[in-house]
Amino acid sequence: MSSSSSKTALLWLRRDLRLADNPALAHALARCERVVPVYIHAPDEEAPWQPGGAARWWQHHSLTALAGELAALGSALVVMRGESLPALRRLIAATGASECHWNRLYEPATVARDTAVKQALRADGVHCESHNAAMLFEPWTFKTGAGEPYRVFSPYWRRCVPALAEIPAPDPPPAALPPLPPGLDSLPVEALGLLPRIPWDQGLAATWRPGGAGAAARLDTFLEGAMRGYTDGRERPAEAGTSGLSPHLHWGELGPRQVLAAVRAAGGDVAADGAGHFVRELGWREFSLQMLFHFPQTPSEPLDPKFAHFPWRADDGALLGAWQRGRTGIPIVDAGMRQLWQTGWMHNRVRMVVASLLTKNLRLPWQEGARWFWDTLVDADLASNTQGWQWAAGSGADAAPYFRIFNPVRQGERFDPDGAYVRRWCPELAALPNKLIHQPWAAKPAALDALGVRLGRDYPAPVVDLKTSRAEALAAFEQIKQRH
């Protein structure tokens, strides 16, 4: 057998598109003289949850940025397309690699794929190792006293908080990387066809900077500004009160260990104040991943089985289409849906409000909302998307002991009291006073007309009566309660 100093390892990159705090890279460098970074475009292996349109846009730019970082260190990114196992085998044959390292993913399809790849390559005599780059605590780390996965966030997070002190410091990026062997076939990132054919992505480009440098800049901006007031600021959609790190975390341009270390270095108390609330949001991400890992059916089926019988409303597409386009006539909802379409992102408070309207007032299946978010969010993450929509529908983990229905008018008045968020995304309502901005239908038509707004012409009339639809949703919930 050749000595370790002459060995070559493949670094199979997926959603860990960074060089710092990348355990697979660190292990490969420690064991082998040469490391070949490879990205294999195989979206069908993630079916039925292949990346949506906004996510593909991000993916293109993130891969391009990573390729530049690798080149600056003396290496390069090998880009391939097709089934992962045959592609890895071709690259192993071309490079003589004896090892393959990657960082774990936790979605049902990727778990199955990675398990099969590991078994096949090991049978070929290749040393395979997978590593943890995506989580502070992997899904199997904590169990309840009964040995079951946690299904309620608060006790789960109480178990996690003391262990935060034991999280290792993130590794810095390597100062240099060995060059690739000559003659390797590689596609340009553009050949993957990730960018939209019709240029609808201007708003995304104006809002985001995918890649490691963009992730670091956004984290620094947050730590220097919004983190201190995060507890309250994160609730106001008109303000830059959140971190905006979710897409960077999803694509692995930044890891949770890096975020935790940066919060501590900035003087944040991870168990208190704004920093504590922010780290708790990392905890929700962890909780969602462990829920998906242990309950892999939940992206399409309710966690609470009684919701399989929930009497959803029959829709000819009109209600769903109005919701998707931001044309429901409910201003805070329409503002959120328009923000989503233009920027590929929506404020978390508003995500809850729009999801409540869809599943409770419109009484349309949460799976429809989850699919729309999946295609339009740059941070579309199967675990977080599933958890959020199941929570909104009342069918998921950590659901309230009652059937929660948000009142979008009250939510708007409380969290967007001067209407700045609605005015930005629904400019046709900009002239309305604060007392009407969240419920224009409450004004007399003549008063609206004087402000240049006519419902049904300049802005839609509400597609649903909030009070009546709330009562219908509660009645529907009573039906399924009586079945169980």
Task: Give the residue among 284, 283, 278, 285 at the shortest CA–CA distance from 226.
Answer: 278
Q: Is 80 helix (H, G, I), strand (E, B) or coil?
A: strand
Asked if residue 336 lies in contact with residue 387, where contact means CB atoms within 8 angstroms, the answer is no
User: Residues 129, 301, 312, 441: which is the catalytic one?
Assistant: 312
User: With contact defined as beta carbons under 8 Å apart, do 65 and 212 qualify?
Assistant: yes
Spot the catalytic one: 49, 323, 366, 391.
366
Residue 102 falls in the annotated catalytic set: no
DSSP calls for 157-177: HHHHHHHGGGPPPPPPPPS--
The residue from 281, 301, 413, 472 that is catalytic is 281
284 in active site: yes
Q: Which of 438, 413, 247, 249 is nearest to 340 (CA)?
A: 247
| Amino acid occupying residue 270 | V
The torsion region of residue 368 among left (phi > 0), alpha (psi -120 to 50) and beta comes to alpha
From 251, 284, 345, 425, active-site residue: 284
Q: Which residues of 80-104 are buried (b: 16+ CB within 10 A; e: fewer)?
A: beeebbebbbebbeebebbbbbbbb
Q: Is 281 a catalytic residue?
A: yes
Q: What are phi and psi of 197, to 5 degrees?
A: -75, -35
- Judge whether 58 counts as a catalytic residue: no
Contact 227, 241 (CB under 8 A): no
**Active-site residue 348, yes or no?**
yes
Helices and strands, counts by H and E, the chain: 21, 5
Catalytic residue among 132, 348, 407, 434: 348
The distance from CA 57 to its chain's CA centroid, rounded to whole angstroms, is 14
| Catalytic residue chosen out of the listed positions 58, 389, 391, 425 | 389
Residues designated catalytic: 281, 284, 312, 348, 366, 389
